[in-house]
Structure 1
Amino acid sequence: MTRSIYRSGICALALIAGSAALQFEPAIIHDIGFARSGTALQIGAVRTSLWSAAWAQAADTFSLENVRFTIGTTSYEAKRVDLTGVTSPRATIEALFASASTEPVSARLSAIGARQITIPELKVTQKFGPETQTNILKNVVLKDVANGRIATATADTIGVETSGSKTTLALSYGRMSISDFDLPAYAKLFETRADSASSPPTKIHGAFTVENIEASEEGVNVRIARVAGRDFMARTTKDSWTDSLAALAELGGKGDLSEEDQAKLVRTAADLLSAFDFASVEATGIEITGSKAKDTDVTGRINRMAYTGATASRPADARIEGMEFFGKSESIKIGTISLTGFSFGPTFEALKKFDAKTIKDADAATVRSLIPTWGTMHISGVDIDVSADKGKKDERAKLGWKDLELTADKPVNGIPTNIRIGLQNLAMELPAKSDEEGIRDLIALGYKNLDLSLLLSALWNAETEELNIREYSLSGQDMGSISMTGLLGGVTKDVFDPDTAIAAVALVGAKAKALDITVENKGLFERYLEKAAKEQKTKPETLRATYGTAAAVALPSIIGTSEQAKALSQAIARFIAKPGRLTVNAKTKDPSGLSLVDITALQEPADAFVKLNVTAKAE
């Protein structure tokens, strides 16, 4: 927000500067300016050491005093503006600032040129409903202004004050710089309405930097060493930026809004929020200090926060790197949090169509349309060490993981058709005194630590109308793993219909085509045998033989004695007798698959082998 105010200030100052090129015979000119369509310019005086006809043909130095520029709800004030090397011709400048001129501000800005514009102090005041924010910029310098475009703009320090609200936020900035600022294009945003709903964005400025940002509120202090980015892109909105901001301020200041006003607020906010983007922006060297409670000090650090905008060849990406938070007896460390391929475009487009009826009674299709595209999130390098129970600092909860992945994209009616959920190396210490039954069982098996990984990956193919369960797996270090893949046919687009009745009918029509299961033992079975043998006062080898024999006898009575059933029974019995790896593959004999009706019609498990080709292998 403050960067936006800063850019607006530069726009205003360039416009102010151009007015000084008016050619008058006296050394001091008082009270000039104009007002038009929510935009106003007032200049108390113009002073120059040389004010003659010769000046119109050559560069000169002069000053403006008591300057005030207003656009929408924002005003810019400067007691003094010094200009050097004005290049705009006299006739152009006179026409540019004539009070009777009907030209828009963006067109007027295009005629401004100067080698340098200097403002010792600039006050920017912006209203947001009942709240007023005031920014004080020191030593503002605009260099090489040509056709309203600034090559370089800098400001040394910026202080921010807020009044009329309950916030106690204190904010300040160090040196700020910005390059290639297109003032006419920026002014056009505020005074022009979009020609169509799909107006293309325009590059407003190039690279920018802000140093030494400091903020504090309610005992929490945040310091950011540097913010940098490039290529701010923006487009006009349906009601212009000036009218949109005014509407948001007006509606935001009201208590109870009618359904019509609520819909207008939603539409306006969505239009404005979707009207700008950056090619990239990042913040580095972030430090957080303060207290979350009177007896618990919290310190935090973040190495880097970054955003990269989407292009035709590259998805959008947002990330946080090197995050650490410390308390008196707690610590949380996260290597990276990233979100790639996300898009709020569908959400904004749906919000821009809101009306009173939608606010009052939104149907399932409308709710689905609000779902953004998630993309892929990674949370990696996590290490957590906190008190297991409040007040018991000697009991610790220590856990972490290598990587957590959540992918949900390629949506159909708001529902993702490509899903991947993965957790690599979730590690935790098992508390020796836990009352949880599952944890007690693991400790009884001799485990002191857990290291688990899981993965679920599924993709819907629209052309073949198949849902491919590419992998579902669970594994544990010194335990083993189980994994499964599968294929469902007849999964039509109706499965994703917002009407749940239609979706349910379509889902019932899906057919199972294939299922593959792999079980691998890596220590869990041996630990279980050892524990059971002690309880039964026998040897693990004796139990192993007993279980294997029992499986070889019992399974045929359950699944039948066909050749396929025998092969499956023998493979399972061999795996139990000497557990290593067991693989079972099942595929329907009918290429179209087995429907839910076909499966429920089976009288006995053995009947399944009539419809399936099953192979099994124990290694």
Structure 2
Amino acid sequence: MTVQDMDAAYLARLYTEKAGPQDKEAKPVYGPSSVKDIVFSDGEARFGYAEIRSSGISMAMTDQPLLETLNALSAVSAPDELPPAERQAYFTRILSIIDMTKKADIEMLGLNMEVPAKDGDKGKKIKFATDRLAIQLDGQTLDATLNGLSMAEGESHFKISEAALSGFSWSPTFKALEQMVALDEQQLESFPFTTLLPEFGTVRLAGIDADLPGSVENGETSPSTAERVRFSLKEYEAALTKPRNGIPTDIRVSYQDLTVPVPANIEEKTLAELRKLGIDELVLSSSLEAAWDEAQQTLVIKEISTSLKDLAGFSFSGVMGGVSGDFFSGDEAKMRVALFGLTAREAELEIEDKGLAAKGLKAYAEQNGMTEDQARGMLTMTSSVVLQQFADEEPRLQDVVDAVSKFIAKPGTFTLTVKSKSPSGLGALELAVASQNPLLLLDRVDIEAVAE
């Protein structure tokens, strides 16, 4: 084990002195350190690290010597029973200790662990390993990365190539706690507890691969013969940023290439139909992205989408108006009232065929003893008649009907755009009334439909 540049004098000052005018900045307490080849074993279980290392730790002095702070905390057995001023002082001391560490990092390399399996078979082991785990603290912000995680037991395994957390900050939580501990019970009733939420930052997962035992039902199937649960995921990312009173105002959640096999002997009806279409695996991707525009008082839905590789895709985007800061106030009453001020300004729906129509047409033709051309002609004619009857009853939708008919005849991409004629959008009351009869909105919106 090696530890460099330990500042024993400064460490002693942390415990025995309070911060002076010259102690505004954090100072290194420890320099680079490393421990290699750590191994623990009891004959059955084994645990080990190739190396644990750090580039150092920097800490800041507080307004009270650390030793005095610790003694003051240990003298309190029931902090909830303290008067408000003393309770505030108690929790302020706790926060000051937590906030002393300003910079720190740790990196753990080559973790390997083996423990006996639960079934008692001495020859079977549960294996857990990681290539690297790194954690970095900078003030009140935390970043962490995990590489090469794997868990295995017999033929079962679960692997993650990378897991990362960036931009996680508990600074908002600290500020809210400092305010909260000064309040009495009556004041706490109106405290916006959402302000206690941290800034979550961005979470990213990549390279997930799983092969796990399936469930055993009614004793009919043993664990060894049950249908296994297999899936893989190329990437997942969730970003919850720009919080206002603890509530994120910018959201992005997406995953790419979630691959799930469709077993040949599947009994679930929908999945069984997919097998009939020649689909032996589903590859799904999805995305949700939205942001609050404070200046315009709008919520911009940039994308809500789902796609199935080589089958179909769906996406939606839009703009909502009347989204005031009350939605992010943390006050339930204000948030409920703000709902009545919401308006719908515009929306766009896109449907893309990537092969599902062709597979469905082929299956329909085979089931009904037709050629694919015959099946296509019959379905196109039937849908055209039905759609045209609808257009005759509502001529304002003729362009939409034409685009839908074109999409059915030759599937590609269908896009429907609806915009409010009023700049302020359609109000909640109008939408509630129109929910029983959407055609009531035709005079209030512009509609465009395109098939390509």
TM-score (norm 2): 0.86
Summarize the Cα distance change of 1:531–1:459 in structure 2 as closer, same or farther, 3 Å threshold.
same
Matching of residues 297-336 of structure 1 within 5 Å: 297-310=125-138, 316-336=142-162
TM superposition shift of 1:364? 6.9
C-alpha separation in 1, matches of 2:81 and 2:244? 29
Asked if 1:605 is matched to 2:438, the reply is yes
Summarize the Cα distance change of 1:565–1:265 in structure 2 as closer, same or farther, 3 Å threshold.
same
Asked if 1:211 is matched to 2:36, the reply is yes
The equivalent of 1:156 in structure 2 is: none
C-alpha separation in 1, matches of 2:315 and 2:272? 26
TM superposition shift of 1:446? 2.4
Asked if 1:516 is matched to 2:348, the reply is yes
Counterpart pick for 2:175 among 349, 352, 355: 349
RMSD (Å) for aligned C-alpha atoms = 3.2
Partner SS, residue 278 of structure 2: coil
CA deviation string 1:469-492 (max 9, x = no partner): 111110111211011111112111
Counterpart pick for 1:404 among 204, 227, 236: 236
The equivalent of 1:339 in structure 2 is: 165
The equivalent of 2:224 in structure 1 is: 393
CA deviation string 1:551-606 (max 9, x = no partner): 33334555776665111111111111221111122222111211222223337433
Moved more, 365-374 or 488-497: 365-374
TM superposition shift of 1:425? 0.3
TM superposition shift of 1:200? 4.6
8 Å CA contact 1:178–1:208 kept in 2: the answer is: yes
The equivalent of 2:219 in structure 1 is: none
Counterpart pick for 1:426 among 252, 258, 281: 258
Asked if 1:184 is matched to 2:9, the reply is yes
C-alpha separation in 2, matches of 1:358 and 1:214? 51
Asked if 1:614 is matched to 2:447, the reply is yes
Summarize the Cα distance change of 1:441–1:240 in structure 2 as closer, same or farther, 3 Å threshold.
farther
Matching of residues 201-350 of structure 1 within 5 Å: 201-214=26-39, 221-237=46-62, 239-246=64-71, 258-260=80-82, 267-291=92-116, 293=118, 294-295=120-121, 297-310=125-138, 316-350=142-176
C-alpha separation in 2, matches of 1:414 and 1:432? 48
TM superposition shift of 1:340? 0.8
The equivalent of 2:197 in structure 1 is: 371
TM superposition shift of 1:396? 1.8
Matching of residues 6-45 of structure 1 within 5 Å: none
TM superposition shift of 1:618? 1.0
Identity of aligned residues (%): 27
C-alpha separation in 1, matches of 2:42 and 2:184? 38
Moved more, 527-536 or 334-343: 527-536
CA deviation string 1:240-273 (max 9, x = no partner): 322344456666xx7x875449987755443322
TM superposition shift of 1:468? 0.9
The one-letter code matched in structure 2 to 1:615 is E
The equivalent of 1:487 in structure 2 is: 319
Counterpart pick for 1:440 among 254, 264, 272: 272
The equivalent of 2:282 in structure 1 is: 450
8 Å CA contact 2:110–2:129 kept in 1: the answer is: yes
8 Å CA contact 2:297–2:324 kept in 1: the answer is: yes
CA deviation string 1:79-113 (max 9, x = no partner): xxxxxxxxxxxxxxxxxxxxxxxxxxxxxxxxxxx
C-alpha separation in 2, matches of 1:243 and 1:553? 86
Partner SS, residue 169 of structure 2: coil
Partner SS, residue 333 of structure 1: strand
Counterpart pick for 2:403 among 548, 571, 582: 571
Higher strand share: 1
CA deviation string 1:90-141 (max 9, x = no partner): xxxxxxxxxxxxxxxxxxxxxxxxxxxxxxxxxxxxxxxxxxxxxxxxxxxx
Partner SS, residue 299 of structure 2: strand
8 Å CA contact 1:544–1:576 kept in 2: the answer is: no
C-alpha separation in 1, matches of 2:347 and 2:125? 54
8 Å CA contact 2:180–2:191 kept in 1: the answer is: no
Over 6 Å off, 4+ runs: 216-219, 261-265, 356-361, 559-563
TM-score (norm 1): 0.64
Higher relative contact order (CA 8 A, sep 6+): 2
The equivalent of 2:294 in structure 1 is: 462
8 Å CA contact 1:559–1:606 kept in 2: the answer is: no
C-alpha separation in 2, matches of 1:573 and 1:383? 42
TM superposition shift of 1:327? 0.9
C-alpha separation in 2, matches of 1:364 and 1:553? 60
Matching of residues 538-557 of structure 1 within 5 Å: 538-555=370-387
TM superposition shift of 1:178? 1.9
8 Å CA contact 1:266–1:354 kept in 2: the answer is: no
Q: Which runs of 5+ in 2 are unaligned?
A: 217-221
C-alpha separation in 1, matches of 2:253 and 2:92? 34
The equivalent of 1:147 in structure 2 is: none
Partner SS, residue 388 of structure 1: coil
Summarize the Cα distance change of 1:220–1:410 in structure 2 as closer, same or farther, 3 Å threshold.
farther
